[in-house]
Amino acid sequence: MRCNACWRELEGRAVSTKCGHLLCNEDASKILSNDAACPICDEVLSKSLMKPVDINPNDEWINMAMAGISPQIYGAELPK
Alpha helices (H) in the chain, listed in sequence order: 25-33, 59-66
- Which of 3.40.1280.10, 3.30.40.10, 3.40.640.10, 3.90.180.10 is the CATH number of 1-80? 3.30.40.10
Residue 80, SS3?
coil
Contact partners, residue 31, CB within 8 Å, separation at least 6: 23, 37, 38, 39, 45, 50
Per-residue pLDDT tens over the stretch 9-65:
988 889 999 888 999 999 999 988 887 889 899 999 888 889 998 887 777 777 777
Pick the closest to residue 53 from 31, 21, 29 (CA basis).
21
pTM recorded for the entire structure: 0.66
